[in-house]
Amino acid sequence: MRISELPEVGTKYEIESPKGDKVAVIFLTTGEIELYVLEAGAEKPSVTRLTPEEARRVGSVLTGAVLTVEREDVEVSFSDISDLRINIHICPVAKGMVGKSIEELAIRKRTGVTVIALSRRGRSIISPPPETVFEEGDLIVVIGEREQIRACAREILGQD
Amino acid sequence: MIFLVDLAVVTVSCLVLGLASKYLRQAAIPAYIIAGIILGKSGFDLISSEASYDFIQWLGKVGVILLMFYIGYEFSFKGIKEPGRLFAGCTDFGVNFIAGFALGLLIGLSLLEAFILASAVYISSSAIVISSLIENKRLIYPEAETIVWLMVFEDIILAILLVVLTSVMSGSLTLIPVCLATTLLLIIFILTLIRRLSNYISPLFERDDEIPILLIFALIFGFSALAYLLGVSLHCHISEVIVAFFLGSALSGVKTSKKLFETTISFKHLFLTIFFFSFGMLFQFQFATLSSVYFILALLALITISILGKFASGALIGKRLHGSLETGLRVGAYTTPRGEFSIVLLAVVIGPGTGNYELLVSLVVAYVIILSIMGSGFARHGDKIGRAIAGSIKKLI
């Protein structure tokens, strides 16, 4: 790895693979990040410009680290049923939910989403029963349409 | 309120031509100069009065001061001492300055004027060079680093040239050392003062209100004014822009919010655009008409020597640092654009009434317009140009 300062441009981090491929990451002074890939023998490099947020995502994929999920949305679509899109939303439980059960909060009745999993102290509970009581530090996984997920975030989780 | 009309003329014309240049993927600097040429005295003469002309020139001067402040702020000494970079910088200066100086004498300028012309010929446009490196996706190549450090080296030389030239221009021989000494003392005074006071200044810079931006401008204008007044009292010229440069470099050591610096840069953008316009206004067509064979020939010679010079210095740098002629020729192609610094140098160093002032200004205006446009083209096709020239040289040998 080579690190070099490029005044007025930014900082360049450069790696060359044994095959001669080059990868460079440049942190521009504007705050954006450019990712260069130059295959050995290629005429021109491929370049993409990332926002810090995007760069962080790419970075955590590359390091193979488990994504530290705060509020993550995943949309799943299927090639056979093209109009079916399922949104999965993962988030920590809100203060107001602690000590109450899924039934008490009437999550599905109020918003349409279903709680499909719960992660508590590193252990997962798949399809938690309605009487499950939330504890502080729980991560919940809810599933539903995009609108329903939004309603859940608004009404149950108290996010904006 | 007639000056509002004049300001509208300046900003609207710069906006239109600037936008056009961005769509054409050209450098914007020549667009603003051309706007000044078209609307200024030698063009449609749309500026209402002499007072307005002066007003626009003043705003332009603020732009130059802010540019130098910005360069000083971004400047870092560390890293330049690496032998390869020093070699590159000195080669670039040696080859291009000497070429420009010789040509200046050849076209009949005085020693001093040739020196000024050589400085303008030597110095590439950091703005165009660096933005074309990013746009043309060159940053992964090793020569990109060499080029970026060349630009830093040119900043240092620019600062030195400005100090020397403004002192020399003050006139009588006895005044030159006085002038130089005062400038250096003032620079040392600013550097130590800011360092001593940094603990008191820093909290002021981190406030949320208008105080930080007021403080920045108070410092810039305050020290510039001090330089001017010192110059007047000593009957010599102490360059305000050099003071701004060192003030910027001193302030870069003081903790400030990033937002404040960005705000100052936006002011720089605005006023520097007006500066390019105001410099375009000085262009005089009588020189550029076809009847003035002398002017055209001088301009052509100047452009040819400037391009050849950068390719030659680039080739030497490439051979030594990267072991490849082709890489060196690419360095040449990338550093060909001239722009803001050539003009700033001229505008700061000489004023109306000195010798061939009108001729020099018109020459450099035309020179910068042509070389900034050609230079961006060279930069875009740098690799092709490098390969073609290296190929034909090989065939010859």
Greater confidence (B145 vs B49) lies with B145
> Which of the four pLDDT bands, split at 50, 70 and 90, describes residue B231?
confident
Residue B321 tokens read as 């640092």
- Our CA-based measurement puts residue A52 at a distance from the nearest CA of chain B, in whole angstroms, of 16
- Asked if the Cβ–Cβ distance from B148 to A22 is below 8 Å, we say no
Residue B94 tokens read as: 């040696």
Domain ranges of chain A: 2-63, 72-155
Express each pLDDT in A115-156 by its tens digit.
999 888 878 888 898 888 888 888 888 888 888 888 888 877
Is B27 part of the contact surface with chain A (CB cutoff 8 Å)? no
The tens digit of pLDDT for each residue in B85-106 reads 899 999 999 999 999 999 999 9
Range with the poorest average pLDDT among A52-61, A121-130, B281-290: B281-290
Of A5, A24, A44, the CB nearest to B139: A24
pLDDT for position A68 = 47
Q: What integer best gives the mean pLDDT of chain A?
A: 83
Q: Higher pLDDT residue, B97 or A70?
A: B97
Strand arrangement, sheet containing A123-126: A72-77, A85-92, A139-144, A114-120, A123-126
Question: What is the total count of domains within chain B?
Answer: 1
Give me the mean pLDDT over the B151-174 stretch.
85
Residues of A in contact with B126 (CB under 8 A): 8
What is the domain-level CATH number for residue B107? 1.20.1530.20
Chain A residues inside the 8 Å CB shell of B67: none
How much is the mean pLDDT over chain B? 88
From the list B278, B110, B138, B254, the residue with the least C-alpha distance to B190 is B254
Is the distance from CB of B138 to CB of B382 less than 8 angstroms? yes
Is the ipTM beyond the 0.90 threshold?
no
Mean pLDDT of B272-278: 93
The model's pLDDT over B303-331, given as tens digits with 9 standing for 90+, comes to 999 999 999 999 999 999 988 888 899 99
Distance between B80 CA and the closest CA of chain A, angstroms: 10
Are the CB atoms for B348 and B241 separated by under 8 Å? yes
Q: Are A155 and A110 in contact (CB under 8 A)?
A: yes
- SS3 of chain A: the string is CEEEEECCCEEEEEEECCCCCEEEEEEECCCCEEEEEECCCCCCCEEEEECHHHHHHHHHHHHCCCCCCCCEEEEEECCCCCCCEEEEEEEECCHHHCCCEHHHHCHHHHHCCEEEEEEECCEEEECCCCCCECCCCCEEEEEECHHHHHHHHHHCCCCC
Q: Label residue A159 by pLDDT band (50, 70, 90).
A: low
A40 CB neighbours in chain B (<8 A) are none
* CB atoms near residue B295 (< 10 Å): 20
Superfamily of domain A72-155: Regulator of K+ conductance, C-terminal domain (3.30.70.1450)
Q: What pLDDT score was predicted for residue B81? A: 81
Q: Which of B74, B76, B137 sits opposite A45 (nearest CB)?
A: B137
Distance from CA of A54 to the nearest CA of B (A): 20
Nearest to B346 by CA among B117, B191, B175: B117
Query: Is the confidence at residue A66, as pLDDT, over 60?
Result: no
List Cβ neighbours of B84 (8 Å cut-off, separation of 6 or more).
Answer: B146, B320, B321
Between CA B175 and CA B195 the distance in angstroms is: 30
Domain extent, residue B219, equals 2-396
Identify the pLDDT of residue B267: 94
Phi, psi of A118, deg, nearest 5:
-145, 135
Q: Which tokens go with A16? A: 């060359």
